[in-house]
Copies of this chain bind each other. A is one copy, B any other.
Amino acid sequence: MRLTVDKEQFLKALNTANKAVASKSPIQTMTSLKLELSDKGLEVTGTNGDITIRTIVPYKIGEKQVIKNFTPGATLVSAKILVEVVRKVSGEELVMDVIDDAILKVDDGRSSFKLNCQNADEFVDVDLEPAGTTFEISATDLTALVEQSAFAASNKEQRPILKALHLEAENGRLIATATDSARLARKVVPVDPEARFVCNIPARIALDIVHMLDTAPAVRVSVSSNKALFEFDGATVSSRLTQGDYPLTRSIIPSTFNDTLEVNAQELLAALERVRILSNDSEPAVKISMSEEEIELSARSDNSGSANEKIATFNYVGDDLEVSFNSQFVIDAVKAVKAEDVTICFLGQMKPFVVKNPKDDSVVELITPMRIN
Protein backbone atom coordinates (compact mmCIF):
# COMPACT_ATOMS: atom_id res chain seq x y z
CA MET A 1 0.00 0.00 0.00
CA ARG A 2 1.29 3.42 -0.95
CA LEU A 3 -0.48 6.79 -1.08
CA THR A 4 -0.34 10.52 -0.51
CA VAL A 5 -3.29 11.67 1.62
CA ASP A 6 -4.66 15.00 2.82
CA LYS A 7 -3.82 15.20 6.52
CA GLU A 8 -7.05 16.83 7.78
CA GLN A 9 -9.32 14.31 6.04
CA PHE A 10 -7.19 11.39 7.23
CA LEU A 11 -7.16 12.70 10.81
CA LYS A 12 -10.95 13.09 10.81
CA ALA A 13 -11.38 9.46 9.67
CA LEU A 14 -8.82 8.25 12.23
CA ASN A 15 -10.44 10.11 15.12
CA THR A 16 -13.85 8.56 14.42
CA ALA A 17 -12.61 4.98 13.86
CA ASN A 18 -10.37 5.30 16.94
CA LYS A 19 -13.50 5.62 19.13
CA ALA A 20 -14.01 1.86 18.68
CA VAL A 21 -10.46 0.97 19.65
CA ALA A 22 -9.73 -0.36 23.13
CA SER A 23 -7.13 1.74 24.99
CA LYS A 24 -5.76 -1.46 26.51
CA SER A 25 -6.30 -5.06 25.45
CA PRO A 26 -4.31 -8.29 25.58
CA ILE A 27 -5.42 -8.79 21.95
CA GLN A 28 -3.14 -6.53 19.91
CA THR A 29 -5.55 -6.13 16.99
CA MET A 30 -8.11 -4.54 19.35
CA THR A 31 -5.67 -1.67 19.97
CA SER A 32 -4.89 -1.41 16.23
CA LEU A 33 -6.50 0.27 13.25
CA LYS A 34 -6.74 -1.47 9.90
CA LEU A 35 -5.96 0.73 6.90
CA GLU A 36 -7.08 -0.52 3.49
CA LEU A 37 -6.90 1.32 0.20
CA SER A 38 -9.90 -0.07 -1.73
CA ASP A 39 -11.79 1.22 -4.74
CA LYS A 40 -13.92 3.39 -2.37
CA GLY A 41 -10.96 5.15 -0.78
CA LEU A 42 -8.81 4.67 2.29
CA GLU A 43 -10.87 2.57 4.72
CA VAL A 44 -9.99 2.93 8.42
CA THR A 45 -11.45 0.24 10.69
CA GLY A 46 -11.28 -0.22 14.46
CA THR A 47 -13.08 -2.59 16.82
CA ASN A 48 -13.10 -3.60 20.47
CA GLY A 49 -15.46 -6.55 19.89
CA ASP A 50 -18.55 -4.67 21.12
CA ILE A 51 -18.47 -1.81 18.65
CA THR A 52 -16.85 -1.69 15.21
CA ILE A 53 -16.33 1.53 13.23
CA ARG A 54 -15.21 1.95 9.64
CA THR A 55 -14.64 5.36 8.11
CA ILE A 56 -13.63 6.11 4.52
CA VAL A 57 -11.35 8.86 3.20
CA PRO A 58 -12.60 9.28 -0.38
CA TYR A 59 -10.27 9.77 -3.38
CA LYS A 60 -11.90 13.10 -4.17
CA ILE A 61 -14.07 15.63 -2.29
CA GLY A 62 -15.65 17.94 -4.87
CA GLU A 63 -12.81 18.99 -7.15
CA LYS A 64 -10.16 18.34 -4.52
CA GLN A 65 -7.91 15.29 -4.88
CA VAL A 66 -7.69 13.86 -1.34
CA ILE A 67 -5.69 10.70 -2.21
CA LYS A 68 -2.92 10.75 -4.84
CA ASN A 69 -0.06 8.58 -6.15
CA PHE A 70 -1.55 5.38 -4.78
CA THR A 71 -0.99 1.64 -4.97
CA PRO A 72 -3.76 -0.46 -3.31
CA GLY A 73 -3.04 -2.58 -0.26
CA ALA A 74 -3.73 -2.85 3.47
CA THR A 75 -1.99 -2.89 6.84
CA LEU A 76 -2.58 -2.98 10.59
CA VAL A 77 -0.95 -0.43 12.92
CA SER A 78 -1.11 0.74 16.55
CA ALA A 79 -4.06 3.14 16.82
CA LYS A 80 -2.55 5.20 19.64
CA ILE A 81 0.75 5.83 17.83
CA LEU A 82 -0.79 6.50 14.40
CA VAL A 83 -3.37 8.96 15.77
CA GLU A 84 -0.73 10.84 17.76
CA VAL A 85 1.62 11.02 14.75
CA VAL A 86 -1.06 12.33 12.38
CA ARG A 87 -2.33 14.78 15.01
CA LYS A 88 1.13 16.29 15.61
CA VAL A 89 2.73 16.44 12.15
CA SER A 90 2.74 19.94 10.71
CA GLY A 91 2.43 19.22 6.96
CA GLU A 92 -0.78 19.32 4.92
CA GLU A 93 -0.11 16.03 3.10
CA LEU A 94 1.28 12.72 4.27
CA VAL A 95 3.09 10.15 2.18
CA MET A 96 2.43 6.64 3.53
CA ASP A 97 4.19 3.53 2.35
CA VAL A 98 4.02 -0.05 3.66
CA ILE A 99 7.32 -1.91 3.39
CA ASP A 100 7.46 -5.74 3.58
CA ASP A 101 4.25 -5.87 5.69
CA ALA A 102 6.47 -4.78 8.61
CA ILE A 103 7.00 -1.03 8.45
CA LEU A 104 4.51 1.76 7.71
CA LYS A 105 6.47 4.84 6.68
CA VAL A 106 4.69 8.15 7.35
CA ASP A 107 6.38 11.31 6.07
CA ASP A 108 5.21 14.92 5.73
CA GLY A 109 8.51 16.21 4.32
CA ARG A 110 9.64 17.48 7.70
CA SER A 111 9.17 14.55 10.13
CA SER A 112 9.65 10.93 9.16
CA PHE A 113 8.17 7.97 11.05
CA LYS A 114 8.70 4.23 10.59
CA LEU A 115 5.85 2.54 12.45
CA ASN A 116 5.88 -1.18 13.17
CA CYS A 117 2.88 -2.74 11.43
CA GLN A 118 1.32 -6.15 10.76
CA ASN A 119 -0.21 -7.97 7.84
CA ALA A 120 -3.86 -6.81 7.55
CA ASP A 121 -5.01 -10.45 7.56
CA GLU A 122 -4.19 -10.54 11.28
CA PHE A 123 -7.21 -8.27 11.93
CA VAL A 124 -10.27 -9.84 13.57
CA ASP A 125 -13.21 -10.60 11.27
CA VAL A 126 -15.65 -7.71 11.33
CA ASP A 127 -19.16 -7.78 9.90
CA LEU A 128 -20.21 -4.41 8.52
CA GLU A 129 -22.76 -5.63 5.96
CA PRO A 130 -26.35 -4.39 6.37
CA ALA A 131 -28.75 -7.24 7.28
CA GLY A 132 -32.30 -7.63 8.63
CA THR A 133 -34.70 -4.68 8.88
CA THR A 134 -33.34 -1.51 7.27
CA PHE A 135 -34.74 2.02 7.57
CA GLU A 136 -33.66 5.64 7.48
CA ILE A 137 -34.10 8.05 10.41
CA SER A 138 -33.19 11.72 10.86
CA ALA A 139 -30.14 12.37 13.03
CA THR A 140 -32.29 14.70 15.16
CA ASP A 141 -34.84 11.96 15.93
CA LEU A 142 -32.20 9.32 16.63
CA THR A 143 -30.32 11.68 18.96
CA ALA A 144 -33.47 12.65 20.88
CA LEU A 145 -34.50 8.97 21.11
CA VAL A 146 -31.21 7.93 22.72
CA GLU A 147 -30.35 11.02 24.78
CA GLN A 148 -33.77 11.19 26.44
CA SER A 149 -33.76 7.52 27.46
CA ALA A 150 -30.36 5.78 27.57
CA PHE A 151 -29.08 7.57 30.72
CA ALA A 152 -31.60 5.59 32.81
CA ALA A 153 -29.99 2.23 31.97
CA SER A 154 -28.06 0.45 34.71
CA ASN A 155 -24.28 0.77 34.92
CA LYS A 156 -23.90 -2.30 37.11
CA GLU A 157 -22.66 -5.66 35.85
CA GLN A 158 -25.16 -7.84 37.74
CA ARG A 159 -27.94 -7.84 35.14
CA PRO A 160 -26.41 -7.17 31.68
CA ILE A 161 -29.85 -6.82 30.08
CA LEU A 162 -30.47 -3.67 32.21
CA LYS A 163 -27.34 -2.04 30.74
CA ALA A 164 -29.11 -2.13 27.37
CA LEU A 165 -31.45 0.30 25.66
CA HIS A 166 -34.57 -1.59 24.55
CA LEU A 167 -35.73 -0.59 21.06
CA GLU A 168 -39.09 -1.54 19.60
CA ALA A 169 -40.44 -0.47 16.21
CA GLU A 170 -44.03 -0.98 15.16
CA ASN A 171 -46.84 0.98 13.50
CA GLY A 172 -44.58 3.87 12.56
CA ARG A 173 -43.36 4.37 16.15
CA LEU A 174 -39.84 3.69 17.43
CA ILE A 175 -39.87 3.31 21.22
CA ALA A 176 -36.71 3.39 23.37
CA THR A 177 -36.89 2.18 26.98
CA ALA A 178 -34.14 2.11 29.60
CA THR A 179 -34.42 1.11 33.24
CA ASP A 180 -32.07 0.25 36.07
CA SER A 181 -35.14 -1.08 38.00
CA ALA A 182 -35.31 2.04 40.27
CA ARG A 183 -36.16 4.39 37.40
CA LEU A 184 -37.33 4.09 33.83
CA ALA A 185 -37.11 6.41 30.82
CA ARG A 186 -39.13 6.09 27.64
CA LYS A 187 -39.00 8.11 24.43
CA VAL A 188 -40.96 7.67 21.21
CA VAL A 189 -40.07 9.02 17.76
CA PRO A 190 -41.77 8.47 14.39
CA VAL A 191 -40.24 5.85 12.10
CA ASP A 192 -40.82 4.32 8.66
CA PRO A 193 -44.01 2.17 9.15
CA GLU A 194 -42.28 -0.71 7.33
CA ALA A 195 -39.74 -0.99 10.15
CA ARG A 196 -40.74 -3.74 12.61
CA PHE A 197 -38.21 -5.11 15.09
CA VAL A 198 -37.31 -5.52 18.76
CA CYS A 199 -33.69 -5.39 19.96
CA ASN A 200 -31.49 -4.48 22.95
CA ILE A 201 -28.41 -2.37 22.24
CA PRO A 202 -25.85 -1.54 24.96
CA ALA A 203 -26.93 1.93 26.22
CA ARG A 204 -23.32 3.16 26.44
CA ILE A 205 -22.75 2.31 22.75
CA ALA A 206 -26.05 3.93 21.69
CA LEU A 207 -24.92 7.16 23.37
CA ASP A 208 -21.45 6.95 21.77
CA ILE A 209 -23.05 6.55 18.34
CA VAL A 210 -25.36 9.58 18.60
CA HIS A 211 -22.39 11.64 19.82
CA MET A 212 -20.59 10.74 16.56
CA LEU A 213 -23.38 12.05 14.31
CA ASP A 214 -21.94 15.57 14.21
CA THR A 215 -23.31 17.16 11.03
CA ALA A 216 -24.84 14.04 9.43
CA PRO A 217 -28.48 14.83 8.49
CA ALA A 218 -29.73 11.23 8.47
CA VAL A 219 -28.73 7.73 9.52
CA ARG A 220 -29.40 4.41 7.78
CA VAL A 221 -30.09 1.77 10.43
CA SER A 222 -30.11 -2.03 9.92
CA VAL A 223 -31.14 -4.36 12.72
CA SER A 224 -30.57 -8.12 12.52
CA SER A 225 -30.61 -10.80 15.20
CA ASN A 226 -27.02 -10.20 16.33
CA LYS A 227 -26.08 -6.64 15.37
CA ALA A 228 -27.34 -3.12 14.75
CA LEU A 229 -25.63 -1.18 11.96
CA PHE A 230 -25.58 2.63 11.62
CA GLU A 231 -24.41 4.29 8.38
CA PHE A 232 -23.91 8.06 8.14
CA ASP A 233 -21.56 10.55 6.57
CA GLY A 234 -18.97 8.02 5.26
CA ALA A 235 -18.93 6.06 8.54
CA THR A 236 -20.33 2.60 9.28
CA VAL A 237 -20.80 1.67 12.94
CA SER A 238 -21.81 -1.79 14.12
CA SER A 239 -22.87 -2.62 17.66
CA ARG A 240 -23.35 -6.06 19.12
CA LEU A 241 -26.83 -6.60 20.59
CA THR A 242 -27.47 -7.71 24.16
CA GLN A 243 -29.14 -11.12 24.14
CA GLY A 244 -31.85 -12.07 26.64
CA ASP A 245 -35.40 -11.02 27.48
CA TYR A 246 -35.93 -7.38 28.37
CA PRO A 247 -38.26 -6.90 31.36
CA LEU A 248 -41.90 -6.19 30.47
CA THR A 249 -42.33 -2.44 31.09
CA ARG A 250 -45.39 -1.63 29.00
CA SER A 251 -47.85 -1.47 31.88
CA ILE A 252 -45.46 0.02 34.47
CA ILE A 253 -46.22 3.66 33.74
CA PRO A 254 -49.51 4.65 35.41
CA SER A 255 -51.99 6.53 33.23
CA THR A 256 -53.86 8.38 35.97
CA PHE A 257 -52.46 10.26 38.99
CA ASN A 258 -53.77 11.85 42.18
CA ASP A 259 -51.46 14.82 42.63
CA THR A 260 -49.77 17.06 40.06
CA LEU A 261 -46.96 19.60 40.50
CA GLU A 262 -45.97 22.07 37.80
CA VAL A 263 -42.68 23.86 38.36
CA ASN A 264 -39.99 25.72 36.41
CA ALA A 265 -37.28 23.22 35.43
CA GLN A 266 -34.29 25.51 36.08
CA GLU A 267 -35.61 26.63 39.48
CA LEU A 268 -36.20 23.02 40.54
CA LEU A 269 -32.75 21.91 39.34
CA ALA A 270 -30.96 24.77 41.15
CA ALA A 271 -32.86 24.10 44.39
CA LEU A 272 -32.10 20.35 44.20
CA GLU A 273 -28.39 21.06 43.63
CA ARG A 274 -28.33 23.25 46.76
CA VAL A 275 -30.40 21.10 49.10
CA ARG A 276 -28.67 17.84 48.20
CA ILE A 277 -25.31 19.17 49.40
CA LEU A 278 -26.62 17.96 52.78
CA SER A 279 -27.38 14.39 51.70
CA ASN A 280 -25.16 11.35 51.42
CA ASP A 281 -22.89 11.14 48.39
CA SER A 282 -23.80 7.61 47.33
CA GLU A 283 -27.59 7.99 47.42
CA PRO A 284 -28.31 11.72 47.57
CA ALA A 285 -31.84 11.60 49.03
CA VAL A 286 -34.01 14.70 48.97
CA LYS A 287 -37.55 14.98 50.35
CA ILE A 288 -40.24 17.07 48.71
CA SER A 289 -43.11 18.19 50.99
CA MET A 290 -46.10 19.43 49.04
CA SER A 291 -49.32 21.21 49.84
CA GLU A 292 -51.37 23.57 47.71
CA GLU A 293 -49.84 26.46 49.75
CA GLU A 294 -46.16 25.48 49.90
CA ILE A 295 -43.56 23.23 48.27
CA GLU A 296 -40.42 22.55 50.30
CA LEU A 297 -37.31 20.50 49.49
CA SER A 298 -35.20 19.17 52.36
CA ALA A 299 -32.25 16.88 52.98
CA ARG A 300 -30.37 15.59 55.99
CA SER A 301 -26.93 14.05 56.44
CA ASP A 302 -26.02 12.39 59.75
CA ASN A 303 -22.47 13.73 59.57
CA SER A 304 -22.95 17.17 58.11
CA GLY A 305 -26.36 18.65 58.99
CA SER A 306 -29.51 19.55 57.10
CA ALA A 307 -30.86 21.88 54.40
CA ASN A 308 -34.24 23.10 53.27
CA GLU A 309 -35.61 25.45 50.65
CA LYS A 310 -39.03 26.57 49.48
CA ILE A 311 -39.93 26.67 45.79
CA ALA A 312 -41.12 30.22 45.01
CA THR A 313 -43.29 29.60 41.94
CA PHE A 314 -45.37 26.46 41.43
CA ASN A 315 -48.78 25.06 40.76
CA TYR A 316 -49.78 22.04 42.88
CA VAL A 317 -53.11 20.29 42.71
CA GLY A 318 -53.49 17.43 45.16
CA ASP A 319 -53.42 16.26 48.78
CA ASP A 320 -50.64 17.14 51.25
CA LEU A 321 -47.85 14.70 50.36
CA GLU A 322 -44.21 13.95 51.25
CA VAL A 323 -42.04 11.94 48.84
CA SER A 324 -38.32 11.13 49.20
CA PHE A 325 -36.22 10.32 46.15
CA ASN A 326 -32.69 9.92 44.82
CA SER A 327 -32.07 13.53 43.73
CA GLN A 328 -29.77 12.41 40.90
CA PHE A 329 -32.67 10.51 39.31
CA VAL A 330 -34.92 13.60 39.43
CA ILE A 331 -32.14 15.86 38.11
CA ASP A 332 -31.49 13.44 35.20
CA ALA A 333 -35.22 13.16 34.47
CA VAL A 334 -35.90 16.93 34.55
CA LYS A 335 -32.96 17.51 32.19
CA ALA A 336 -34.07 14.67 29.88
CA VAL A 337 -37.59 15.94 29.29
CA LYS A 338 -36.09 19.18 27.91
CA ALA A 339 -38.89 21.51 28.98
CA GLU A 340 -39.05 25.01 30.43
CA ASP A 341 -41.69 23.87 32.93
CA VAL A 342 -41.99 20.24 34.03
CA THR A 343 -45.00 18.35 35.36
CA ILE A 344 -44.46 15.80 38.12
CA CYS A 345 -47.35 13.43 38.76
CA PHE A 346 -47.74 11.46 42.01
CA LEU A 347 -49.94 8.58 43.18
CA GLY A 348 -48.84 8.49 46.83
CA GLN A 349 -45.84 8.52 49.17
CA MET A 350 -44.31 5.19 48.13
CA LYS A 351 -45.70 4.94 44.58
CA PRO A 352 -43.53 5.61 41.50
CA PHE A 353 -43.94 9.14 40.18
CA VAL A 354 -43.57 10.52 36.69
CA VAL A 355 -41.68 13.54 35.29
CA LYS A 356 -43.15 14.87 32.04
CA ASN A 357 -42.94 17.70 29.57
CA PRO A 358 -46.48 19.18 29.54
CA LYS A 359 -46.00 20.11 25.87
CA ASP A 360 -44.48 16.81 24.62
CA ASP A 361 -45.93 13.42 25.54
CA SER A 362 -43.27 11.50 23.56
CA VAL A 363 -41.03 11.36 26.62
CA VAL A 364 -41.82 9.97 30.10
CA GLU A 365 -39.50 9.50 33.09
CA LEU A 366 -40.63 7.22 35.94
CA ILE A 367 -38.91 7.22 39.36
CA THR A 368 -39.38 4.97 42.38
CA PRO A 369 -39.33 6.87 45.72
CA MET A 370 -36.82 6.07 48.47
CA ARG A 371 -37.89 4.92 51.92
CA ILE A 372 -36.52 7.54 54.34
CA ASN A 373 -37.39 7.97 58.00
Contacts and interface: CB of A to CB of B under 8 A. Distances in A.
Interface of A: 78, 81, 84-85, 88-90, 103-104, 110-116, 270-271, 273-275, 277-278, 303-310, 312
| Max count, chain B CB within 10 A of own CB: residue among A274, A305, A312 | A305
Contacts of A115: 278, 304-305
Nearest to A302: B116
B113 A307 contact: yes
Given A84-B277, A85-B277, A274-B88, A304 B111 contact: no
Given A111-B271, A111-B309, A115-B304, 19 more contacts: A78-B304, A81-B305, A84-B277, A85-B277, A85-B307, A88-B273, A88-B274, A88-B277, A90-B270, A90-B274, A103-B305, A110-B309, A112-B307, A112-B309, A114-B305, A115-B278, A116-B303, A116-B304, A116-B305
A292 to B, nearest CB: 21
A273 B87 CA distance: 11
A79 to B, nearest CB: 11
Contacts of A81: 277-278, 304-305
Nearest to A90: B270
A277 B275 CA distance: 48
9 contacts: A78-B304, A81-B277, A88-B270, A88-B273, A103-B305, A104-B305, A111-B309, A113-B278, A113-B305
Centre residue among A78, A271, A278, A310 by max chain B CB count within 10 A: A278
Contacts of A84: 277
Contacts of A307: 85, 111-114
Given A81-B277, A81-B278, A277-B81, A306 B88 contact: no
A115 B306 CA distance: 6
Contacts of A116: 303-305
Nearest to A306: B114
Nearest to A102: B305
Contacts of A110: 309-310, 312
Contact of A308 (B90, B112, B277, B305): B112
Contacts of A112: 307-309
A114 B305 CA distance: 5
Contacts of A270: 88, 90
A278 B103 CA distance: 13
A310 B109 CA distance: 10
A150 to B, nearest CB: 28
A130 B112 CA distance: 58
A274 B111 contact: yes
Nearest to A312: B110
4 cross-chain pairs, A with B, having the tightest CB-CB distances, nearest first? A115-B305, A111-B309, A116-B305, A113-B307
Contacts of A308: 111-112
Contacts of A306: 113-114
A277 to B, nearest CB: 5
A103 to B, nearest CB: 7
Nearest to A81: B304
A368 B305 CA distance: 55
